[in-house]
Structure 1
Amino acid sequence: MIRLPSPTSPAYLRVVRASAWYDLVVTVGFATPWTYALVHDALSSWGQAWGLGDLPELDPMQTLYANLMGSVVVVWAVLRIVRPLPVHGLLDGIARTLFTAWQAYALAHGATQLLWLFLGVEVTFGVVQFVPWRRNRGTELVNDRAAVPAHGYPQHARHSE
Protein backbone atom coordinates (compact mmCIF):
# COMPACT_ATOMS: atom_id res chain seq x y z
CA MET A 1 0.00 0.00 0.00
CA ILE A 2 1.29 3.46 -0.92
CA ARG A 3 1.49 5.87 2.00
CA LEU A 4 0.41 9.36 0.98
CA PRO A 5 1.99 12.31 2.81
CA SER A 6 0.12 14.35 5.40
CA PRO A 7 -1.30 17.61 4.00
CA THR A 8 0.99 19.61 6.29
CA SER A 9 4.20 17.85 5.28
CA PRO A 10 6.83 19.32 2.94
CA ALA A 11 6.35 16.23 0.70
CA TYR A 12 2.68 17.15 0.23
CA LEU A 13 3.60 20.70 -0.77
CA ARG A 14 6.03 19.26 -3.34
CA VAL A 15 3.10 17.30 -4.83
CA VAL A 16 0.99 20.49 -4.92
CA ARG A 17 3.82 22.27 -6.73
CA ALA A 18 4.42 19.35 -9.13
CA SER A 19 0.74 19.25 -10.10
CA ALA A 20 0.93 22.99 -10.71
CA TRP A 21 3.93 22.61 -13.01
CA TYR A 22 2.06 19.91 -14.94
CA ASP A 23 -0.96 22.22 -15.28
CA LEU A 24 1.18 25.12 -16.42
CA VAL A 25 2.98 23.11 -19.09
CA VAL A 26 -0.18 21.43 -20.39
CA THR A 27 -2.52 24.44 -20.37
CA VAL A 28 -0.36 27.44 -21.27
CA GLY A 29 -1.04 26.71 -24.95
CA PHE A 30 -4.79 26.98 -24.33
CA ALA A 31 -4.55 30.53 -22.94
CA THR A 32 -4.57 32.51 -26.22
CA PRO A 33 -6.42 32.06 -29.52
CA TRP A 34 -3.12 31.85 -31.43
CA THR A 35 -1.49 29.23 -29.26
CA TYR A 36 -4.74 27.26 -28.95
CA ALA A 37 -4.93 26.96 -32.75
CA LEU A 38 -1.46 25.36 -32.68
CA VAL A 39 -2.36 23.05 -29.77
CA HIS A 40 -5.64 22.10 -31.46
CA ASP A 41 -3.85 21.18 -34.69
CA ALA A 42 -1.18 19.19 -32.82
CA LEU A 43 -3.73 17.27 -30.73
CA SER A 44 -5.81 16.49 -33.82
CA SER A 45 -2.73 15.26 -35.69
CA TRP A 46 -1.64 13.07 -32.78
CA GLY A 47 -5.17 11.71 -32.34
CA GLN A 48 -5.32 10.77 -36.02
CA ALA A 49 -1.80 9.27 -36.04
CA TRP A 50 -2.46 7.18 -32.91
CA GLY A 51 -5.98 6.14 -33.99
CA LEU A 52 -7.61 7.94 -31.07
CA GLY A 53 -9.73 10.36 -33.08
CA ASP A 54 -9.29 14.01 -33.89
CA LEU A 55 -10.80 17.14 -32.42
CA PRO A 56 -13.85 18.86 -33.93
CA GLU A 57 -13.17 21.71 -36.33
CA LEU A 58 -11.91 24.84 -34.62
CA ASP A 59 -14.59 27.48 -34.09
CA PRO A 60 -14.81 30.76 -32.14
CA MET A 61 -16.86 29.38 -29.21
CA GLN A 62 -14.57 26.38 -28.73
CA THR A 63 -11.60 28.75 -28.83
CA LEU A 64 -13.24 31.06 -26.28
CA TYR A 65 -13.87 28.23 -23.81
CA ALA A 66 -10.38 26.82 -24.32
CA ASN A 67 -8.90 30.29 -23.70
CA LEU A 68 -11.00 30.84 -20.57
CA MET A 69 -10.00 27.43 -19.17
CA GLY A 70 -6.37 27.95 -20.12
CA SER A 71 -6.18 31.42 -18.60
CA VAL A 72 -7.73 30.38 -15.28
CA VAL A 73 -5.65 27.21 -14.98
CA VAL A 74 -2.42 29.08 -15.79
CA VAL A 75 -3.11 31.64 -13.05
CA TRP A 76 -4.10 28.86 -10.58
CA ALA A 77 -0.91 26.97 -11.46
CA VAL A 78 1.32 30.01 -10.92
CA LEU A 79 -0.25 30.58 -7.49
CA ARG A 80 0.51 26.98 -6.47
CA ILE A 81 4.08 27.22 -7.80
CA VAL A 82 4.85 30.55 -6.10
CA ARG A 83 3.03 29.95 -2.79
CA PRO A 84 1.89 26.35 -2.32
CA LEU A 85 -0.30 25.83 0.73
CA PRO A 86 -1.94 22.65 2.00
CA VAL A 87 -5.40 24.07 1.26
CA HIS A 88 -4.34 24.57 -2.38
CA GLY A 89 -3.82 20.81 -2.61
CA LEU A 90 -7.27 20.18 -1.18
CA LEU A 91 -8.91 22.59 -3.61
CA ASP A 92 -6.89 21.26 -6.53
CA GLY A 93 -7.90 17.71 -5.61
CA ILE A 94 -11.55 18.78 -5.67
CA ALA A 95 -11.08 20.55 -9.02
CA ARG A 96 -9.39 17.47 -10.47
CA THR A 97 -12.34 15.34 -9.32
CA LEU A 98 -14.62 17.67 -11.29
CA PHE A 99 -12.31 17.67 -14.33
CA THR A 100 -12.23 13.86 -14.22
CA ALA A 101 -16.03 13.69 -14.11
CA TRP A 102 -16.42 16.00 -17.11
CA GLN A 103 -13.74 14.21 -19.10
CA ALA A 104 -15.40 10.86 -18.38
CA TYR A 105 -18.74 12.36 -19.46
CA ALA A 106 -17.18 13.60 -22.72
CA LEU A 107 -15.58 10.19 -23.36
CA ALA A 108 -18.91 8.46 -22.76
CA HIS A 109 -20.49 10.77 -25.35
CA GLY A 110 -17.99 10.16 -28.14
CA ALA A 111 -15.15 12.63 -27.49
CA THR A 112 -11.71 11.85 -28.81
CA GLN A 113 -9.91 9.05 -26.99
CA LEU A 114 -6.99 11.47 -26.50
CA LEU A 115 -8.83 12.52 -23.33
CA TRP A 116 -7.72 9.26 -21.67
CA LEU A 117 -4.16 10.66 -21.51
CA PHE A 118 -5.34 13.69 -19.56
CA LEU A 119 -7.89 11.80 -17.47
CA GLY A 120 -5.19 9.48 -16.13
CA VAL A 121 -3.10 12.40 -14.87
CA GLU A 122 -6.15 14.14 -13.40
CA VAL A 123 -7.09 11.03 -11.43
CA THR A 124 -3.53 10.51 -10.19
CA PHE A 125 -2.95 14.07 -8.99
CA GLY A 126 -6.50 14.22 -7.61
CA VAL A 127 -6.03 11.11 -5.49
CA VAL A 128 -2.57 12.12 -4.26
CA GLN A 129 -3.81 15.57 -3.20
CA PHE A 130 -7.33 14.78 -1.98
CA VAL A 131 -7.04 11.42 -0.20
CA PRO A 132 -4.69 12.63 2.58
CA TRP A 133 -7.39 15.10 3.61
CA ARG A 134 -10.09 12.41 3.66
CA ARG A 135 -7.82 10.11 5.64
CA ASN A 136 -7.40 12.75 8.34
CA ARG A 137 -11.13 13.63 8.34
CA GLY A 138 -10.54 17.38 8.40
CA THR A 139 -8.10 17.51 11.29
CA GLU A 140 -5.44 18.92 8.97
CA LEU A 141 -7.81 21.67 7.86
CA VAL A 142 -7.88 22.95 11.44
CA ASN A 143 -4.07 22.94 11.45
CA ASP A 144 -4.06 24.69 8.07
CA ARG A 145 -6.39 27.40 9.37
CA ALA A 146 -4.09 27.92 12.31
CA ALA A 147 -1.15 28.26 9.91
CA VAL A 148 -3.03 30.60 7.56
CA PRO A 149 -4.92 33.34 9.40
CA ALA A 150 -7.99 35.10 7.96
CA HIS A 151 -5.81 37.61 6.09
CA GLY A 152 -4.43 34.69 4.04
CA TYR A 153 -0.72 34.90 4.81
CA PRO A 154 1.10 32.14 6.68
CA GLN A 155 2.55 33.21 10.03
CA HIS A 156 6.12 33.11 8.72
CA ALA A 157 5.23 35.42 5.80
CA ARG A 158 3.41 38.03 7.91
CA HIS A 159 4.76 41.55 7.62
CA SER A 160 4.79 43.92 10.55
CA GLU A 161 1.57 45.89 10.71
Structure 2
Amino acid sequence: MSPLNASLGLGALPDLDVHSMLFANFFGTVVIIWSLVRLVWNDTRLAIYDGVARGFFSAWMGVALFSGITPLVWIFLVPEILFALLQIAGFFWLSCRSPEVAEA
Protein backbone atom coordinates (compact mmCIF):
# COMPACT_ATOMS: atom_id res chain seq x y z
CA MET A 1 0.00 0.00 0.00
CA SER A 2 2.99 2.27 0.52
CA PRO A 3 3.78 2.52 -3.23
CA LEU A 4 0.16 3.51 -3.95
CA ASN A 5 0.25 6.05 -1.14
CA ALA A 6 3.51 7.51 -2.49
CA SER A 7 2.28 7.55 -6.12
CA LEU A 8 -0.73 9.60 -5.04
CA GLY A 9 1.59 12.14 -3.44
CA LEU A 10 0.58 11.17 0.09
CA GLY A 11 4.09 10.21 1.24
CA ALA A 12 5.54 6.89 2.28
CA LEU A 13 3.91 4.83 4.99
CA PRO A 14 5.99 4.11 8.10
CA ASP A 15 7.58 0.69 8.51
CA LEU A 16 5.85 -1.69 10.89
CA ASP A 17 7.75 -2.57 14.04
CA VAL A 18 7.48 -5.78 16.06
CA HIS A 19 4.70 -4.38 18.29
CA SER A 20 2.60 -3.30 15.31
CA MET A 21 2.97 -6.72 13.70
CA LEU A 22 2.04 -8.46 16.96
CA PHE A 23 -1.21 -6.56 17.31
CA ALA A 24 -1.98 -6.85 13.59
CA ASN A 25 -1.61 -10.63 13.89
CA PHE A 26 -3.79 -10.73 17.02
CA PHE A 27 -6.43 -8.71 15.22
CA GLY A 28 -6.19 -10.87 12.10
CA THR A 29 -6.65 -14.01 14.17
CA VAL A 30 -9.82 -12.66 15.77
CA VAL A 31 -11.21 -11.68 12.36
CA ILE A 32 -10.49 -15.13 10.90
CA ILE A 33 -12.09 -16.94 13.86
CA TRP A 34 -15.16 -14.68 13.72
CA SER A 35 -15.48 -15.30 9.97
CA LEU A 36 -15.38 -19.05 10.53
CA VAL A 37 -18.01 -18.81 13.27
CA ARG A 38 -20.25 -16.83 10.91
CA LEU A 39 -19.82 -19.45 8.17
CA VAL A 40 -20.29 -22.52 10.38
CA TRP A 41 -23.13 -21.20 12.56
CA ASN A 42 -25.60 -19.77 10.11
CA ASP A 43 -27.42 -17.82 12.81
CA THR A 44 -29.10 -14.54 11.90
CA ARG A 45 -28.56 -13.20 15.41
CA LEU A 46 -24.81 -13.06 14.76
CA ALA A 47 -25.49 -10.35 12.15
CA ILE A 48 -26.26 -7.79 14.85
CA TYR A 49 -22.93 -8.46 16.57
CA ASP A 50 -21.14 -8.30 13.24
CA GLY A 51 -22.86 -5.03 12.37
CA VAL A 52 -21.98 -3.46 15.72
CA ALA A 53 -18.36 -4.62 15.39
CA ARG A 54 -18.22 -3.04 11.93
CA GLY A 55 -19.53 0.17 13.51
CA PHE A 56 -16.68 0.11 16.02
CA PHE A 57 -14.14 -0.61 13.27
CA SER A 58 -15.53 2.34 11.32
CA ALA A 59 -15.29 4.60 14.36
CA TRP A 60 -11.63 3.68 14.89
CA MET A 61 -10.89 4.26 11.22
CA GLY A 62 -12.54 7.67 11.54
CA VAL A 63 -10.37 8.48 14.57
CA ALA A 64 -7.30 7.45 12.59
CA LEU A 65 -8.34 9.62 9.64
CA PHE A 66 -8.82 12.66 11.86
CA SER A 67 -5.45 11.90 13.48
CA GLY A 68 -3.65 12.17 10.15
CA ILE A 69 -3.47 8.62 8.78
CA THR A 70 -3.31 8.23 5.01
CA PRO A 71 -6.54 9.15 3.21
CA LEU A 72 -6.42 5.72 1.54
CA VAL A 73 -8.24 4.48 4.66
CA TRP A 74 -11.41 5.93 3.08
CA ILE A 75 -11.25 2.99 0.63
CA PHE A 76 -11.88 0.68 3.61
CA LEU A 77 -14.08 2.99 5.70
CA VAL A 78 -16.88 3.58 3.20
CA PRO A 79 -17.68 -0.12 2.56
CA GLU A 80 -17.30 -0.89 6.27
CA ILE A 81 -19.97 1.70 7.15
CA LEU A 82 -22.20 0.47 4.33
CA PHE A 83 -21.96 -3.17 5.40
CA ALA A 84 -22.54 -2.24 9.06
CA LEU A 85 -25.74 -0.42 8.16
CA LEU A 86 -26.89 -3.23 5.87
CA GLN A 87 -26.26 -5.92 8.48
CA ILE A 88 -27.99 -4.05 11.29
CA ALA A 89 -30.91 -3.05 9.07
CA GLY A 90 -31.17 -6.60 7.72
CA PHE A 91 -31.29 -8.03 11.23
CA PHE A 92 -34.12 -5.70 12.26
CA TRP A 93 -35.95 -6.27 8.98
CA LEU A 94 -35.81 -10.05 9.52
CA SER A 95 -36.81 -9.60 13.17
CA CYS A 96 -39.94 -7.70 12.15
CA ARG A 97 -40.86 -10.32 9.56
CA SER A 98 -40.05 -13.29 11.78
CA PRO A 99 -40.02 -12.59 15.55
CA GLU A 100 -38.34 -15.93 16.32
CA VAL A 101 -35.14 -14.56 14.69
CA ALA A 102 -34.63 -12.13 17.58
CA GLU A 103 -35.86 -14.57 20.23
CA ALA A 104 -34.13 -17.79 19.13
TM-score (normalizing by structure 1) = 0.56
Identify if the C-alpha distance between structure 1 residues 114 and 53 changes in structure 2 by more than 3 Å, giving closer, same or farther: farther
1:118 corresponds in structure 2 to 76
2:62 corresponds in structure 1 to 104
Q: Which runs of 5+ in 1 are unaligned?
A: 1-42, 148-161
Q: Which has the larger share of helix?
A: 2
1:57 equivalenced with 2:15 (yes/no): yes
Deviation string for 1:77-117 (max 9, x for gaps)? Answer: 12212322111111000000000000000000001112101
Aligned partner (choices 96, 100, 103) of residue 143 of structure 1: 100
Identify if the C-alpha distance between structure 1 residues 143 and 67 changes in structure 2 by more than 3 Å, giving closer, same or farther: same
Identify if the C-alpha distance between structure 1 residues 53 and 123 changes in structure 2 by more than 3 Å, giving closer, same or farther: farther
Q: For 1:119 and 1:54, locate their aligned partners in 2 and report how far apart those are by CA, in whole Å.
A: 20
Contact 2:58–2:81 (CA<8 Å) still a contact in 1? yes
Residue 139 (structure 1) shift: 5.5
1:16 corresponds in structure 2 to none
Work out the percentage of aligned pairs sharing the same amino acid: 35
Q: For 1:130 and 1:124, locate their aligned partners in 2 and report how far apart those are by CA, in whole Å.
A: 10
Structure with max Cα Rg: 1
How well do the aligned residues superpose, as a CA RMSD in angstroms? 2.3
Q: How does 1:28-47 map to 2 (within 5 A)?
A: 43-47=1-5
Q: Which runs of 5+ in 2 are unaligned?
A: none
Q: For 1:90 and 1:141, locate their aligned partners in 2 and report how far apart those are by CA, in whole Å.
A: 15
TM-score (normalizing by structure 2) = 0.83
Identify if the C-alpha distance between structure 1 residues 84 and 65 changes in structure 2 by more than 3 Å, giving closer, same or farther: same
1:31 corresponds in structure 2 to none
Identify if the C-alpha distance between structure 1 residues 54 and 91 changes in structure 2 by more than 3 Å, giving closer, same or farther: farther
Identify if the C-alpha distance between structure 1 residues 104 and 61 changes in structure 2 by more than 3 Å, giving closer, same or farther: same
**Aligned pairs, how many?**
104
